[in-house]
Amino acid sequence: MVSFGLAGACRERRYQVAFRGKFNDCEPEAVETRTWLKFAVKCKYLDVKLGREIYVAYNQVLGGLVSTIVVFLFG
């Protein structure tokens, strides 16, 4: 769950190593959510249009996470 991971990272922000670890855990969670969205649409549990909207939103979340991780690791 991306939101829980981000909340945990915020609580750990004083401790750089723990903060980075929690933040890094969010990326695979976002990727997993996108995979489940595809599955839900293919199995017709979720409308195609709504599935695409949520997928696009998760792409934005994932892009923000990756950008932030790169800043913390290399910036």
Which tens digit of pLDDT belongs to each residue from 24-44? 777 788 888 889 999 999 999
**Which domain covers residue 56, as residue numbers?**
2-74
CATH code where residue 9 lies:
1.20.1440.60
With CA atoms as reference, report the closest residue to 29 among 57, 51, 55, 62. Answer: 62
**Total domain count, the chain:** 1
Query: How does the average pLDDT of the chain come out, rounded?
Result: 77
Q: What tokens appear for 48 in the block?
A: 């195609």
What predicted TM-score, i.e. pTM, was given to this entire model?
A: 0.66
